[in-house]
Protein backbone atom coordinates (compact mmCIF):
# COMPACT_ATOMS: atom_id res chain seq x y z
CA UNK A 1 0.00 0.00 0.00
CA UNK A 2 2.79 2.41 0.91
CA UNK A 3 4.58 1.69 -2.38
CA UNK A 4 1.39 2.47 -4.32
CA UNK A 5 0.97 5.75 -2.45
CA UNK A 6 4.59 6.69 -3.14
CA UNK A 7 4.21 5.87 -6.85
CA UNK A 8 1.20 8.16 -7.10
CA UNK A 9 3.02 10.96 -5.31
CA UNK A 10 6.04 10.52 -7.56
CA UNK A 11 3.87 10.94 -10.66
CA UNK A 12 2.50 14.18 -9.24
CA UNK A 13 6.02 15.38 -8.47
CA UNK A 14 7.09 14.70 -12.05
CA UNK A 15 4.29 16.88 -13.33
CA UNK A 16 5.30 19.83 -11.14
CA UNK A 17 6.73 22.82 -13.00
CA UNK A 18 10.24 23.59 -11.83
CA UNK A 19 11.57 27.15 -12.17
CA UNK A 20 14.08 27.44 -15.01
CA UNK A 21 17.67 28.03 -13.89
CA UNK A 22 18.64 31.46 -15.16
CA UNK A 23 21.85 33.43 -14.72
CA UNK A 24 22.09 34.93 -11.24
CA UNK A 25 22.54 38.71 -10.94
CA UNK A 26 26.23 39.60 -11.10
CA UNK A 27 26.31 40.91 -7.52
CA UNK A 28 25.32 37.44 -6.25
CA UNK A 29 28.13 35.55 -8.03
CA UNK A 30 30.99 34.73 -5.67
CA UNK A 31 34.62 35.50 -6.36
CA UNK A 32 35.75 33.33 -3.45
CA UNK A 33 38.36 30.59 -3.78
CA UNK A 34 36.24 27.43 -3.86
CA UNK A 35 34.73 25.07 -6.43
CA UNK A 36 31.00 24.87 -5.74
CA UNK A 37 28.24 25.39 -3.18
CA UNK A 38 26.35 22.86 -1.10
CA UNK A 39 22.80 24.06 -0.55
CA UNK A 40 21.42 22.16 2.45
CA UNK A 41 17.70 22.05 3.16
CA UNK A 42 16.96 20.75 6.63
CA UNK A 43 13.76 18.80 7.28
CA UNK A 44 12.60 20.43 10.52
CA UNK A 45 10.61 17.49 11.97
CA UNK A 46 13.59 15.13 11.71
CA UNK A 47 15.97 17.78 13.04
CA UNK A 48 13.67 18.48 16.00
CA UNK A 49 13.15 14.80 16.80
CA UNK A 50 16.91 14.23 16.97
CA UNK A 51 17.99 16.83 19.50
CA UNK A 52 17.19 20.00 17.60
CA UNK A 53 14.54 21.20 20.03
CA UNK A 54 17.16 22.43 22.50
CA UNK A 55 19.06 24.22 19.74
CA UNK A 56 16.11 25.89 18.01
CA UNK A 57 13.01 25.90 20.26
CA UNK A 58 11.00 28.26 18.06
CA UNK A 59 11.57 26.09 14.99
CA UNK A 60 10.49 23.00 16.93
CA UNK A 61 7.52 24.50 18.77
CA UNK A 62 4.13 22.92 18.22
CA UNK A 63 2.29 24.92 15.58
CA UNK A 64 5.44 26.28 13.92
CA UNK A 65 4.58 24.38 10.75
CA UNK A 66 8.22 24.24 9.64
CA UNK A 67 9.07 21.75 6.91
CA UNK A 68 12.15 22.33 4.77
CA UNK A 69 14.25 25.30 5.88
CA UNK A 70 17.65 26.45 4.67
CA UNK A 71 20.44 25.22 6.88
CA UNK A 72 23.17 26.67 4.75
CA UNK A 73 24.76 27.57 1.44
CA UNK A 74 28.29 26.30 1.99
CA UNK A 75 31.37 26.85 -0.18
CA UNK A 76 33.08 23.51 -0.88
CA UNK A 77 35.85 22.01 -2.99
CA UNK A 78 36.01 18.90 -5.13
CA UNK A 79 39.39 17.69 -3.85
CA UNK A 80 40.17 19.81 -0.81
CA UNK A 81 38.72 20.78 2.53
CA UNK A 82 35.76 23.12 2.41
CA UNK A 83 36.61 26.65 3.54
CA UNK A 84 35.04 28.15 6.66
CA UNK A 85 35.62 30.95 9.16
CA UNK A 86 37.36 33.08 6.57
CA UNK A 87 37.29 36.20 8.71
CA UNK A 88 36.22 39.67 7.81
CA UNK A 89 32.72 39.06 9.12
CA UNK A 90 30.72 42.23 9.18
CA UNK A 91 27.85 43.40 11.34
CA UNK A 92 24.81 41.73 9.85
CA UNK A 93 22.34 44.54 9.38
CA UNK A 94 18.58 44.45 9.54
CA UNK A 95 18.51 45.08 5.80
CA UNK A 96 20.63 41.95 5.22
CA UNK A 97 18.42 39.86 7.51
CA UNK A 98 15.36 40.96 5.54
CA UNK A 99 16.63 38.63 2.80
CA UNK A 100 16.46 35.64 5.19
CA UNK A 101 12.76 35.78 6.05
CA UNK A 102 11.11 32.50 5.13
CA UNK A 103 14.48 30.85 4.42
CA UNK A 104 16.30 30.15 7.68
CA UNK A 105 14.33 29.05 10.75
CA UNK A 106 15.60 32.06 12.71
CA UNK A 107 17.90 35.07 12.39
CA UNK A 108 20.46 33.61 14.79
CA UNK A 109 21.23 30.76 12.39
CA UNK A 110 21.39 33.21 9.49
CA UNK A 111 24.01 35.35 11.30
CA UNK A 112 26.02 32.26 12.22
CA UNK A 113 25.92 30.93 8.66
CA UNK A 114 27.23 34.18 7.23
CA UNK A 115 30.14 34.38 9.66
CA UNK A 116 30.97 30.66 9.32
CA UNK A 117 30.48 30.20 5.58
CA UNK A 118 29.38 33.41 3.88
CA UNK A 119 32.64 35.18 4.70
CA UNK A 120 34.39 32.70 2.40
CA UNK A 121 32.39 33.83 -0.63
CA UNK A 122 33.67 37.40 -0.87
CA UNK A 123 30.04 38.59 -0.79
CA UNK A 124 28.64 41.12 1.64
CA UNK A 125 26.11 39.75 4.12
CA UNK A 126 23.26 41.31 2.15
CA UNK A 127 24.44 39.84 -1.16
CA UNK A 128 25.20 36.46 0.41
CA UNK A 129 21.68 36.16 1.80
CA UNK A 130 20.28 37.32 -1.52
CA UNK A 131 22.31 34.53 -3.14
CA UNK A 132 20.85 32.02 -0.66
CA UNK A 133 17.36 33.27 -1.50
CA UNK A 134 18.06 33.01 -5.22
CA UNK A 135 19.51 29.49 -4.94
CA UNK A 136 16.59 28.26 -2.83
CA UNK A 137 14.08 29.70 -5.30
CA UNK A 138 15.50 27.50 -8.07
CA UNK A 139 14.36 24.29 -6.35
CA UNK A 140 10.98 22.63 -6.54
CA UNK A 141 10.03 20.58 -3.49
CA UNK A 142 8.30 17.30 -4.46
CA UNK A 143 4.62 17.17 -3.55
CA UNK A 144 5.24 14.24 -1.19
CA UNK A 145 7.42 16.51 0.98
CA UNK A 146 5.64 19.84 0.77
CA UNK A 147 3.33 19.38 3.74
CA UNK A 148 2.62 15.77 4.68
CA UNK A 149 -0.19 15.50 7.20
CA UNK A 150 0.81 12.07 8.50
CA UNK A 151 4.09 10.24 9.07
CA UNK A 152 5.11 7.90 6.28
CA UNK A 153 7.96 5.52 5.57
CA UNK A 154 10.08 5.73 2.44
CA UNK A 155 13.69 5.21 1.35
CA UNK A 156 16.52 7.66 0.63
CA UNK A 157 16.48 6.51 -3.00
CA UNK A 158 12.77 7.29 -3.33
CA UNK A 159 13.37 10.79 -1.93
CA UNK A 160 16.21 11.32 -4.41
CA UNK A 161 13.99 10.12 -7.25
CA UNK A 162 11.23 12.52 -6.23
CA UNK A 163 13.61 15.50 -6.22
CA UNK A 164 15.11 14.45 -9.55
CA UNK A 165 11.64 14.18 -11.09
CA UNK A 166 10.77 17.68 -9.87
CA UNK A 167 14.08 19.38 -10.81
CA UNK A 168 15.42 19.08 -14.38
CA UNK A 169 19.10 18.09 -14.74
CA UNK A 170 19.46 17.05 -11.10
CA UNK A 171 21.19 13.66 -10.67
CA UNK A 172 22.03 11.35 -7.79
CA UNK A 173 25.66 12.41 -8.22
CA UNK A 174 24.75 15.99 -7.36
CA UNK A 175 22.89 15.42 -4.11
CA UNK A 176 22.67 13.53 -0.84
CA UNK A 177 19.82 12.55 1.47
CA UNK A 178 20.86 12.25 5.12
CA UNK A 179 19.15 10.51 8.00
CA UNK A 180 19.51 10.05 11.73
CA UNK A 181 17.52 8.03 14.24
CA UNK A 182 15.64 6.43 11.37
CA UNK A 183 14.30 9.80 10.15
CA UNK A 184 14.94 12.17 7.25
CA UNK A 185 17.28 14.95 8.40
CA UNK A 186 18.22 16.97 5.32
CA UNK A 187 18.77 17.01 1.57
CA UNK A 188 21.94 18.49 0.10
CA UNK A 189 22.48 19.78 -3.44
CA UNK A 190 25.75 20.71 -5.15
CA UNK A 191 25.40 23.91 -7.14
CA UNK A 192 27.83 25.86 -9.30
CA UNK A 193 29.38 29.09 -8.02
CA UNK A 194 27.23 31.08 -10.44
CA UNK A 195 24.13 29.33 -9.02
CA UNK A 196 23.12 28.27 -12.54
CA UNK A 197 23.72 24.51 -12.67
CA UNK A 198 24.17 21.35 -10.65
CA UNK A 199 27.65 19.97 -10.00
CA UNK A 200 28.69 16.33 -9.71
CA UNK A 201 30.15 16.06 -6.22
CA UNK A 202 31.18 12.54 -5.12
CA UNK A 203 32.40 13.73 -1.70
CA UNK A 204 28.87 14.91 -0.89
CA UNK A 205 26.85 12.26 -2.75
CA UNK A 206 28.59 9.37 -1.01
CA UNK A 207 27.13 10.51 2.32
CA UNK A 208 23.58 9.66 1.24
CA UNK A 209 21.82 7.59 3.90
CA UNK A 210 21.88 3.85 3.15
CA UNK A 211 19.04 2.80 5.44
CA UNK A 212 16.48 0.51 3.85
CA UNK A 213 13.66 2.60 5.29
CA UNK A 214 13.38 6.02 6.91
CA UNK A 215 10.45 7.87 8.46
CA UNK A 216 9.23 11.29 7.38
CA UNK A 217 7.34 13.06 10.15
CA UNK A 218 4.91 15.89 9.36
CA UNK A 219 5.61 19.50 10.38
CA UNK A 220 4.64 20.27 13.94
Please report the domains of the chain, with CATH numbers, ordered by start residue. 31-150+173-216 (3.90.730.10)
Q: Which listed residue (113, 126, 160, 183) is catalytic?
A: 113
Question: Pairing relation of β-strands 175-180 and 183-192?
Answer: antiparallel
* Known catalytic membership, residue 101: no
Looking at the predicted structure, is the pLDDT value of residue 28 above 70? yes
* Known catalytic membership, residue 113: yes
Query: Helix or strand or coil: residue 133?
Result: helix
Looking at the predicted structure, is the pLDDT value of residue 2 above 80? no
Looking at the predicted structure, is the pLDDT value of residue 15 above 60? no
Looking at the predicted structure, is the pLDDT value of residue 89 above 80? no
- Per-residue pLDDT reduced to its tens digit, 56-86: 999 999 999 999 999 999 999 999 999 999 9
On whether the CB atoms of residues 201 and 76 are closer than 8 A, the answer is: yes
Looking at the predicted structure, is the pLDDT value of residue 199 above 90? yes
Q: Which listed residue (117, 158, 160, 183) is catalytic?
A: 117
Cα(127)–Cα(192) distance, rounded to whole angstroms?
Answer: 17
* Known catalytic membership, residue 160: no
- What lies within 8 Å, CB to CB, of 27 at 6+ separation is 127, 130
Please give the average per-residue pLDDT across 87-113, as a whole number: 90
List phi, psi (to 5°) of 139. Answer: -100, 135
Amino acid sequence: MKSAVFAALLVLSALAVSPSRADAPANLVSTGNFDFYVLTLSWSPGFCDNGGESKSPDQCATGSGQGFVVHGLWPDNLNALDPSDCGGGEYVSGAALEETHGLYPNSGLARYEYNKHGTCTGLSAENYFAAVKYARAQFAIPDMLKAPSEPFDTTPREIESAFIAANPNLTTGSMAVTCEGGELIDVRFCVSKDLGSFIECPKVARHTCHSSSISVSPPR
